[in-house]
Amino acid sequence: MCGIVAIHRPNSSVLSENDLDRGRSMLSRLDHRGPDDRGYRVAGRTFLGHTRLAIVDLADGRQPMPAGAEHWLVANGEIYNHGELRSELDHPFRTRSDSEAIGALLLAEGVPGIARLWGMYAFVVAGPRLGLVAARDELGIKPLYWARVDGTVQFASELRAFDADVRPAVAEFPPGHAWSEATGLVRVRPRVAEPPVPADRAAARTLIRERLITAVRRRLMADTPVGVFLSGGLDSSLVAAVMARYADPRHGPVRSFAIGTADSPDLAAARRVAEHLGLEHTERVYDADEALAALPRVVASIESYEPSLVRSAIPNYLLAETTARSVKVVLTGEGADELFAGYDHLRALDHDQLGAELRRSVRGLHNLNLQRCDRVTMAFGLEARVPFLDLDLVALAERIPVAWRLPGRLGQEKALLREAFQGWLPDDVLWRVKEQFGDGSGMAGLVRSHLPALGAPEDWDRHRVDGLRPPRSREELAYQLIFADTLAGVSGDVLGRFATA
């Protein structure tokens, strides 16, 4: 939806001119996240900046937005239950924007009210009564970073926004937390009703189907068309199948987007799904030269040098570039593998180990797949939404016995999820053997065959990049060199390193 910036001076009554200059400079580095508008405001001791991708309330939803009682807010993401909150809160709403519900809720209930928000978000609200309140959603779907330096607390959506002299102090703002001057950093647990353990597999299948349909329908909230990334695998195909039944017909057929090399299996599978569902389908075919040319931009965009993340990000980045020409919002299949044991290496774990690993992996997505998903799309002013990570569906998946999430009768992973949607897709798609996106799109092979062109020396194991961990491969060293060049000063452990002050 956007990019946000905030600079706050807790122990001063006003901001300095240097603070204002710094805030405007930070904001300029986030223009790609919000190509439709840019605005900022000083609210007492706080600079608030926002770059907007207009999706909900196109006419009146610009930010910083008045939050009532001399308060202002900047928010990134979507609040899917804003209609329900509007009906319950005694607040003079001025817009149809979902973000306005954040300020109304905080003024009514304070920081504990954040537990009622349902969606993906990172926001900062400032004003005389609340001081400053910043928060991030439970799973970290939307990014937020912060730093305490020179008497200020600074916030931004991406690492690149921070000035070079501040970057060594930057840390990731922890998911599921809020910070205010009054409370400090506190855990805010969303109000999710714990579902009962399904009585049997049939009950589990019914609940999975119902909750995924609800999750997808929530994420169709937009005043513009909503598309879908279609890899040809199970997860995105299920999302597309639900969209095909429930998307707003006023926007025409659902638009799907796929990418791969000329002979990649993903393209053929995605094309079959699109034809079956009657989608308006767009393909992008890329080659090795195009992928390698994009590599430095990809590493800079995802703000990571993790090899598997970079490889999968390259086709996603090129796909987002194509998609952004047609729509502003896409749904993706992120999170299904972590909920329903979709990775091959999980087969070796016993039940206790598997249950713990699935819980850990869902809560680690914020600086892995979710980071990649956010950055490659927002690099082109495109918002990605992730229905599998709806908190109702996450809660259900974690109550389903682990034994039911093991491979099914045909040996495929995610058997229970496949069974839940029997008849929604052709059987050869529904039971297609999983491929990692970086492999199915052809990316992994391209990187391996062109490794010498990546620029890292052959004696890669003797080289170190200041501030970063020792490289584990020549490929990782190549990415580290790009990372250090584009994000000078950022610590290599910033992801997952939480500042607790």
* Residues with a known catalytic role: 2
In this structure, what are the phi and psi dihedrals at residue 381, rounded to the nearest 5 degrees? Answer: 65, 45
Count of CB atoms within 10 A of residue 387's CB?
27
Q: What amino acid occupies position 242?
A: V
Q: Which helix (H) or strand (E) holds 100?
A: helix 100-109
Tokens of 470: 């020792």
First to last CA, the chain: 28
75, 102 Cβ separation under 8 angstroms: yes
CA 173 centroid distance within chain: 14
Work out the burial of residue 181: count CB atoms within 10 Å of its CB; fewer than 13 is exposed, 13-18 middle, 19 or more buried.
Answer: middle
412, 431 Cβ separation under 8 angstroms: yes
Q: Taking Cα atoms as reference points, which of 120, 140, 109, 150 lies closest to residue 8?
A: 150
Distance of alpha carbon 340 from alpha carbon 396, whole angstroms: 11
Cα distances (angstroms) measured from residue 120 to each of 214, 280, 310, 355, 357: 16, 27, 24, 25, 23
Radius of gyration of the chain (CA): 22
Q: What amino acid occupies position 488?
A: A
Q: Which residue has the tokens 């890292």?
A: 456
Q: What residues does 46 pair with on adjacent strands?
A: 8, 43
Characterise 209 by phi-psi region: left (phi > 0), alpha (psi -120 to 50), beta (else): alpha
Q: What residues does 48 pair with on adjacent strands?
A: 6, 41
What's the 3-state SS for 243-266?
HHHHCCHHHCCCEEEEEECCCCHH
Q: What residues does 18 pair with on adjacent strands?
A: none
Q: Taking Cα atoms as reference points, which of 134, 130, 77 lies closest to residue 108?
A: 130
